[in-house]
């Protein structure tokens, strides 16, 4: 196994794990923020604007990390 392959495997696994953890963490936060009627409750107007924006950004980053991890592992498998 070449050193480059080992680096790609480690990057792929870490990217997959971090992406999955980010997606699960954001989903958990959204789930526990909902009230009995299904609406999300926020403390004030500012947090109602910034929290979904931040969470959407992290969800997108998590999705991209998952895709990069899968591509990295597939590239290593293709190279072997």
pLDDT digits (tens, 9 = 90+) for 29-80: 999 999 999 999 999 999 999 999 999 999 999 999 999 999 999 999 888 7
Per-residue pLDDT, 79? 81
Q: Is the pLDDT of residue 23 over 70?
A: yes
Domain boundaries, the chain: 3-79
Q: Is the pLDDT of residue 3 over 70?
A: yes
Per-residue pLDDT, 78? 87
DSSP 7-58: HHHHHHHHHHHHHHHHHHHHHHHHHHHB-TTS-B--SSHHHHHHHHHHHHHH
Per-residue pLDDT, 5? 87
């Amino acid at each position: 196994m070449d050193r480059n392959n080992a680096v790609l495997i480690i990057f792929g696994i870490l990217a997959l794990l971090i992406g999955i953890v980010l997606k699960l963490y954001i989903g958990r936060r959204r789930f526990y923020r909902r009230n009995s009627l299904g609406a999300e409750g926020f403390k004030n107007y500012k947090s109602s604007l910034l929290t979904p924006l931040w969470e959407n950004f992290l969800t997108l980053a998590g999705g991209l990390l998952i895709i990069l991890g899968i591509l990295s592992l597939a590239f290593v498998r293709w190279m072997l």
